[in-house]
Structure 1
Amino acid sequence: MKTAVAITGIGLISPLGNQVEAVFSRLMAGESGIRLLDAEVTGCKPAVVGAAEFDPAPWFTRLQLSGVDRVSQMAVAAATLALEDAALTLPAEREQVGVYVGCAMGGSSALDKGFHNFYAEKSRVSPLSVIASMANAPAGHISMRFGITGPSVNYSVACASSAIALGEAMRAIRHGEITHAIAGGAEAMLLPGIINAWQSMQVLASTAGEHPEQACRPYDKERSGLVLAEGAAFLILEGLDAALARGARIYATLDGYACRSDATHITKPDVGGQVRTMRAALADAGLSAGQIGYCNSHGTATQVGDVVECQALQSIWGEDTPGLQVSATKSMHGHLLGATGGLETAITALVLYHQQVPPTANCRQLDENCRVQHVLGKGVAAPDLQAAISNSFAFGGSNASLVLQRHQA
């Protein structure tokens, strides 16, 4: 018999703040954490980004910080907050605990500084650049911080990274390999070189004139592209029975997961691949499409991606099906690349816990090719909501979907 898996803790370092309930309140109000970086910061054209307000001082000593990139700093902070939120004392046998992290870019700041020292200043590159920039550094630092000797793994699968990390952590608990997991993702890549590379792809949102906070407009007819963001989001996963036994608050249960490949194009999404992924996740959860009442969509605000995802949703749920409410919260927090799945799964768990659905912000004129039941403007109550799905679709054609259910206390 498979072990049911509960989400009992959430920790966030995000463009919308670091306190879970305050972040959810801002989302429900349709508030944005996106702001403008001028040309002096980007080194090229101005750009809108979702930057996290984060001070590492409470989490690391000055000596420790010398070899810890921003991405690992935020990961440790968010993981610690998640454990505190879960009111969880880790088991004495730490081999029964796993750390599952999604991080696509790794320690970008350390790598950027190393290149600058070598090419621009012709100076010595710090040997700490290697360990600070490796993609699995956040997982290693979390494991060391809490003495965790179970699995410590990183998934680098572009925008699906932390959704896959959560799914694999769920599987490990479900099949008895571990009893607890700290799972999620982190990303910190708001640097001139990276921003300029994305600008060159012509997929970033315009600066939106006097209202940069409105730049990300998923499903809007006039949408101009995605908004890069940074942050970390971690969830505490544990067996449902064990969580109930210790009287834990249960945000939701994580019941379904699937990862499938488009195998068609390195950047262009595919309807068939997304449909296969969602159907497989539903089957893993043992639920039908009609039982899902909310979708936290991938919804990046690109011209092609938004249409493809809506077509995939229509293929499963049918166009204008009233039973499925859809929103793209990236409109307010931006796209955290490898950390996005973690943040959006946390949001989906909060949606089920509060039975309230946040909106897609900034969508003023819905694209006629994106006809599903969007929640626009402000959030809405959803008193009958019992199950939800969160989608993460990545460059490379890797897709991941997670299915969550409301816990009936």
Structure 2
Amino acid sequence: MKFQELTTQERIDQLVREGSLGEREASVLAEGPGLPTAMAANMIENQVGAFPVPLGIARNFIIDGRPTSVPLAVEEPSVIAAAGNAAKRCRDTGGFVTSVERGGLIGQVVFLGHLERPEAFLEAHLDSIRKVSRDAHPSLEEHGGGLRDVCVVTYPEADIVEFRLTINPGEAMGANVVNTISEAVGRYIERASSQLRLLMAILSNSAPLQRARATARFPFSQLPASGMEGSLVAQRIVQAGRFAQLSPQRAVTQNKGIMNGVDALVLATGNDTRNVAAAAYAALNEHHRTWTQWDVQNDCLVGVIDIPMPIGAVGGAISTLPVAKTAMRILADPDAERLMGIAASVGLASNMAALRALVTRGIQAGHMNLQLRSLAMMAGARETSQIERVVSVLSQDVTHADLSRAKAVLADDMTGLRWERA
């Protein structure tokens, strides 16, 4: 049977057989989406419950030569199926090839005041700043991280001086690391200069040095749809991609579709979805409105994504949440660089799937079955047999498939069930 045709427990069992899960992680998934109250209460303030999001697996991915089952946490229908479908279409050409830049995060140490010779001040105190940085987080260099660069930026119109730190966070996402070091450096500089008063010290969510790139080649033979030849589908995808570069309105929608996959992977692994979104969208401008590019080369559709990806493989929720740890286990416990490449690959797959649907059969066709399932559950169906019955009836005339119709079908089904029991 295909993976999507298995029951939830059968899927978990298959992941165990494939070696993607151990028995311990399998038990976490089998227990359901609950988060222990004791853990949740220590993660946030005023905790009253937990908000579960479905966790699924996108199959068919080959990333840098390695078959990869990708865990995605998402409530939107079709995201997982679409990503896996796109991944399947580039398997014969090697799947996704990634490269990443993990050059560091930015810490902004901001002062009120004025320095006559800011560069000279920095040069005189640079060694001390480096020592303060090491002392603030002694174990960071052991994990390949640490302060990489310092520059000074002045804003004379506002009497503001900024010391901009570049900090490699090692394997962590890095917010706490950067904030800790930035605050320590801020206190040191304030003591060292009578002209400066510390205003703030904080991580910047801009991440130009933390980027992920993925490339994939989709043969024309894998692209036919709705009676169109693969070469024509490829050309139409290229044109749709170019339109996103021309139209800000279309670019917004395309980028949302890319983030469907990226955000779901980031969330599943316990990383900060808001951080990734802030960095990714901040990198766009009127000359670069989206993160993907599409072209035709040698009978293949070639897609490339280049996107800021400030995520990590250890620390915080990544190392705390049971489901996040399980997701990392499914991914074979990747380091931060590989996880960045996986996220970029899922984003590219999501974009390809959406564009192929848009330029052929339209976007709604692929969503319809899961939308009907959602309607059935909104109407009150809970058991699988009830949901299947409602979907079966609604799918016969989707133009009249709405909540009232779903409730009527469910009511008829329940009436019939009561007659059978009588």
TM-score range, shorter chain: under 0.3
Scaled by the length of structure 1, what TM-score is found? 0.23
Scaled by the length of structure 2, what TM-score is found? 0.22
Q: Which has the higher contact order (CA 8 A, sep 6+)?
A: 1
Q: Which has the higher helix share?
A: 2
